[in-house]
Chains A and B, each alone.
Chain A
Amino acid sequence: MKLAQSHSYYIKSVIEIESERERESNLMATSHVDVPGEPTETGTALLETATGTIQGFQPINNIHQHLCAFHFYAHDMTRQVEAHHFCGHLNEDVRQCLIYDSPNKDARLIGIEYIVVESLFLTLPDDEKPLWHSHEFEVKGGYLFMPGVPGMVERQDLKQVCKTYGKVIHFWQVDRGDPLPLGIPQIMMALTRPGQLDENIAKDVEKRFGVSFEEQREQRKDLTGPDHGIHPLANAAGRGLKTELREVDIPPATSMPRVFV
């Protein structure tokens, strides 16, 4: 309760400060508040160019794919977010994605998604399943797409994605104008039927990426969802989910070695 109140006063003051600046980028949609802070200093940039060259980035190099889709909050369908997923395979059955609010260099890292095949989803405990959502509708509906990839190639992968389930957690509520990642993580859900996606958001994305969801829908008619149908516990068990923060007593240390770091 307190966190939410102080948050709204904070947002108000930052927005007042930031309201003069305008972010210009034809690929940026969701929010219009700049990230506070000074531009990167030359020395810092130089160092990072160096570290970027010297160090290894294997987990990041495993990211090979950009998918654009839409998420909404598991307690509030009216708050919708354009989500740019940058995904890598851990194996044939599991993918992990970094979610950004745009495909640009200055995109904000707003969340994470994990994607698993149906057989793995079915092994999840029953109280875990509601945190996951099905992908069938957004894939068949044409709303999930891979920017820049020709339809025929895209569909090869979407054939598989259509049958998977995803778990999405967002940390930065850019849709409400948060200048920084405030508050606690939010479980997100995905589109499951027509009429859910805000038309303005849809049109905006179609325009900016030169896609037509309707055309995609036509092309994807032969794709099929999970073999066993969409599990009734998926998609927040058909209801909704919220997160809450709780203070806990820290257990006393057992024997903690004194000599050490």
Chain B
Amino acid sequence: MASSDEKPGPTPVATGDKPTPPGEPTTLSSKILDKGAGMMQSLEPVKEMKQHVCTFALYAHDLSRQIETHHYVGRLNQDVLQCAVYDSDIRKANLIGVEYIISPKLYETLPEEEQKLWHSHAYEIKSGLWVNPGVPQMLEKPELENMACTYGKFWCTWQVDRGDRLPLGAPALMFSPQPVNRGRVRPDLVQRRDEKYKISTEELRESRVDIQEPEIHPNADYWVKHNKGFAVDVKPADMKRLAPFP
């Protein structure tokens, strides 16, 4: 089993012509339980997500597969961010993965083999693909300059664009859009996003022209120089045990 599998085995789950995911609508009693629990529990870590970013990502084993992503960003410190990534911004959006974002200073401390799994954000931001929906440009600009220098590592756990109605298969590495032919995002995807938020990616690009072009580390965006991406395989293995299993 690999993140690069074309489609998981034939089951009703993988068709994608019906709403994702299958299952009954949430019952009233579940909603009440949830509300009750929600009142008694503080859910602190989740409250730390204070930014919504809408951008695009490409599968690291197949750049032609591109998705619009919604990152809900939480900050651990000035140099490290962690994001819950969804496929839309609605309440019932599918949780499709996690992205970590770090400063150039930290990126440089990573071993070379690790650096290859990370992507740069400069182009994504300067091109206007990366937006903070609802935030006035004046407010977001100063921080965009910092973000433009950062590196991200994004694992996708639910390949909704493949038609999966449930999260199937191995987790997949994702890459960011890049200014080379294969790294550019399809116009129809951008247009659909722009229409939804009533923005213009092109106008954003113009307004961000003065954001400094950072120097990108040679090990980031591995595929650009090497024409090779990455896939993750899940294989059977002998589990080291301290008690019988299962």
Contacts and interface: CB of A to CB of B under 8 A. Distances in A.
Interface of A: 2-3, 6-7, 9-10, 14, 35-41, 43-44, 47-52, 54-66, 74-78, 84, 86, 89-94, 96, 98, 100, 102-109, 111-112, 114, 116-117, 120, 123-128, 130-131, 134, 146-150, 153, 156-157, 160, 167, 169, 171-172, 180-185, 187, 189, 192-196, 198, 230, 234-254, 256-258, 260-261
Interface string B48-75: 1111100000000111100000101011
A76 B30 contact: no
B73 to A, nearest CB: 8
11 contacts: A14-B109, A65-B37, A120-B21, A123-B13, A125-B10, A131-B1, A149-B36, A237-B236, A250-B62, A250-B182, A261-B185
B77 to A, nearest CB: 4
A169 B94 CA distance: 16
Size bracket, chain B contacts: 35 or more
Contacts, number: 403
Given A14-B109, A103-B42, A36 B79 contact: yes
Interface in B20-47: 21-27, 29-30, 33-38, 40-47
A242 B235 contact: yes
Nearest to A240: B239
Given A192-B245, A243-B232, A250-B63, A98 B109 contact: no
Nearest to B61: A248
B166 interface: yes
A53 to B, nearest CB: 9
A41 B77 CA distance: 8
List the 8 closest pairs (A to B, CB-CB), nearest first.
Answer: A93-B23, A37-B79, A240-B239, A6-B111, A125-B9, A52-B50, A64-B34, A195-B243
B176 interface: no
A127 B77 contact: no
B184 A124 contact: no
A247 B229 contact: yes
Given A52-B51, A75-B240, A124 B13 contact: yes
Nearest to B95: A96
B199 interface: no
A169 B75 contact: no
Given A65-B37, A100-B45, A256-B184, A40 B78 contact: yes
Interface of B: 1-2, 4, 8-14, 21-27, 29-30, 33-38, 40-52, 61-64, 70, 72, 74-80, 82-84, 86, 88-95, 97-98, 100, 102-103, 106, 109-114, 117, 127-129, 132-135, 139-140, 142-143, 146, 153, 155, 157-158, 166-171, 177, 181-182, 184-187, 190, 201-202, 205, 223, 227-246
Contacts of B111: 3, 6-7, 9-10
A198 B117 CA distance: 33
Nearest to A183: B114
Contact of B239 (A124, A150, A236, A253): A236
Contacts of B205: 261
A239 B50 CA distance: 41
Contacts of A237: 236
Given A89-B26, A108-B82, A146-B41, A238 B240 contact: no
A37 B16 CA distance: 42
B245 A187 contact: no
Nearest to A58: B91
A6 B90 contact: no
Contacts of B229: 247-250
Contacts of B10: 125
A120 B14 CA distance: 12
A126 to B, nearest CB: 7
Given A56-B89, A114-B167, A243 B233 contact: yes
Nearest to B201: A261
Nearest to B93: A59
B99 to A, nearest CB: 10
Given A75-B240, A77-B239, A146-B37, A47 B109 contact: no
Contacts of A66: 37, 41-43
B62 A251 contact: yes
Given A51-B51, A114-B157, A260-B186, 20 more contacts: A40-B77, A55-B52, A59-B93, A64-B35, A75-B240, A89-B30, A103-B44, A131-B1, A153-B40, A156-B29, A230-B246, A243-B171, A248-B4, A248-B228, A249-B227, A249-B228, A249-B229, A251-B64, A253-B64, A258-B181
